[in-house]
Chain A
Amino acid sequence: MLKYAFRRILGMIPMLFLISVIVFTLAKLMPGDSLSGEIDPRNTNPQYIQEMREKLGYNDPVPQQYFRWVGNFVQGDFGKSTRFKIDVSEVIGERLPNTIMLGITSIIITYILAFIMGTYAGRKPYTLGDNFISGLNYLGLSIPAFVAGVFAIFLFSFKLGWFPSNGSVDIGVTEGTLEYWLSRLHHVFLPAVVLGFLNIASYTQFLRNDIIENSRKDFVRTARAKGTSEKKIYNVHILRNSIIPLITYLGFDIVAIISGAIITETIFTYPGLGQLFLQSVGTRDYPVLMTLTMLFSFLTLLGNLVADILYGVVDPRIRLD
């Protein structure tokens, strides 16, 4: 297993190199200096730009510039934000905890809801409850996250007033107190559900179908013949087999959260990385934009890698090739 994981991680390196080359190319295509942020894109004085370009080495050969950028990047020097006038790492560091909190809450809610609905529907297929859950799933798979978000704000924030419609925490609560964390949870709940919307539906459907399929297998018949109680068959014998494939989706969750966060955070004006990403496009804060692009690409790659390795854990046959 370790050998397999190691091989997959090694295989990731050329991919990472290619992605960094592409991000670098995209950055070079952007107007102004999008890598170090020392040149203000809004200052159009040609003499100033000439001087800065010479000073920052933009007249060097392109490969040399690439390696300098990668070198700085690996050491955590992402340049300076042209909008906030501080290091990009600081700007991102400020928003990162919010997005992590959103992502983790979303994953927890997704798995709990999918687990409850999936096991229920799988245990009692083709009943009223199952059909109801299936109907919900169809809706969940068909409503895009941003439409769901807009409806959620309209219904739960404006009409019912249960959840706040924007921000990540109430103004005026002191950091570190219980009240503070409760307020944050209160703010993060609705975006987290919207972010997990599609996954809740697809995982429920997956768990249901897998449980139904497993319940027809020979080992279940053997368990029944031995006189094992129905409850134990479902909760122990079948569940153990059905829950494992679901875990492999964790890798894809990382990928889904990245693109989902951009949309969800914008709808809920939640101050996380996704919102920062769109703001940096709007304000032409290219250093932040390129760092985030690189970060998101890296996380996507990591998510796919985690999914691959988890597949190998669950199904040893995959490890052979």
Chain B
Amino acid sequence: MEIVTQKNPKRNAGPPKKSLSPWAMARRKFAKNKLAMTSLFFLVIVGILSFLAPYITTADVSRINIGQMGLEPSKEHWLGTDKAGRDVFTRLLYGGRISLLVGLSCTFFVIFLGTLIGSIAGYFGGAVDNLLMRFTDLILNFPFLVIVIVINAILFGRVSGLWVLIAVISFLYWGGIARIVRSKILSEKENEYITAAISIGCTPAKVIIKHLLPNVLSTIIVQATITFATMIVIESALSYLGFGVPQETPSWGNMLNSANEPDVLQFKYWIWMPPALMITITILSINFIGEGLKDAFNPKSRR
């Protein structure tokens, strides 16, 4: 095996930089956006706290404690306990873990599928484009929530779990992304550098990955943030309705499910309000980050 110590020694020896690259410009613009940076900071904190949940709290998430049902917030239980005597704060942390995990994985798969299908359709055009786009139309013409619930009802009792949910959501949601990526690729591929790349013998895969995708990446990133927010909403909505994450696993949507009981909703605000607020603030900050990114990537906007 060969060990590469310096991959490209000449890279740093180029002429001195005159102006910033578009990426550096975007980064700088984003860093100046206070609202977006605050949101990013908040999101990172929530992420770290959630993923370190087992080290932060020692309480048992799943153990039902009959002696401590529905306690008000106190020193011992910062956010009180729920109807089964479980610590709400602990569940909030573990719930964030699941909600963010589902949100991130769904976003990843949705963006991956959408980009793959959109770029293939856009690059090749013709019959391939037609076939793939009719398929996309079909996916887009489904009532998303209805089909997810029906599929869940079919799978009920046979297979269940987090990854099934992620797969079902991802498979039914990539349509919008595919359309956007395709239209971007369609206009981008008319450029001369693409003709040049093809004429020197680049394979289609190489043209798409090396030349086309980097130029539509800003759109994909902005779409990814929007999708991330949507996915958190979808996960929590499905869990709230009882068709998402398995009931025994805490997620923000599952915790909010207890608000269906009038008694909890009316008198025990500490059980349902924390997850409701967490969902809202998380989505608000993702939206702010999305707006910030959109602004940062837009060369016309000056700040």
Contact = CB atoms under 8 A, between A and B. Distances in A.
Interface of A: 15, 18-19, 26, 29-30, 138-139, 141-147, 150-151, 153-154, 158, 165, 255, 258-259, 262-263, 266-267, 277-278, 281, 289, 292-293, 296-297, 299-301, 304
Contacts of A143: 280, 283
Contacts of A289: 150, 153
B142 A297 contact: yes
A26 B269 CA distance: 40
B154 A142 contact: no
B137 interface: yes
Interface residues of B, number: 38
B154 A29 contact: yes
B145 interface: yes
B256 A146 contact: yes
Contacts, number: 101
Contacts of B260: 267
B143 A296 contact: yes
B228 interface: no
Nearest to B158: A31
Interface in B250-282: 256, 259-260, 262, 265-266, 269, 272, 276, 279-280
A77 B43 CA distance: 52
A142 B141 contact: no
A242 to B, nearest CB: 22
Contacts of A296: 143, 146
B52 to A, nearest CB: 26
B209 interface: no
Contact of A158 (B138, B143, B236, B265): B265
Contact of A146 (B137, B154, B240): B240
B153 A150 contact: no
Given A277-B149, A293-B150, A142 B283 contact: yes
A277 B146 contact: yes
B153 A297 contact: no
Given A144-B236, A144-B237, A281 B149 contact: yes
Nearest to A143: B280
A38 to B, nearest CB: 20
Contacts of B280: 142-144, 147
Contacts of A267: 260
Nearest to B146: A296
B143 A147 contact: no
Interface string B23-46: 000000000000000000000000
By Cβ-Cβ distance, the 4 closest A-B pairs, closest first, are: A142-B284, A259-B145, A144-B233, A300-B143
B23 to A, nearest CB: 27
Nearest to A280: B153
Contact of B283 (A144, A277, A304): A144
25 contacts: A18-B138, A19-B141, A26-B151, A30-B153, A138-B287, A138-B288, A139-B284, A144-B237, A146-B240, A146-B241, A150-B259, A150-B276, A151-B276, A154-B269, A255-B143, A263-B145, A266-B241, A267-B260, A277-B149, A289-B150, A296-B143, A297-B141, A297-B142, A300-B141, A301-B141
Nearest to A151: B276
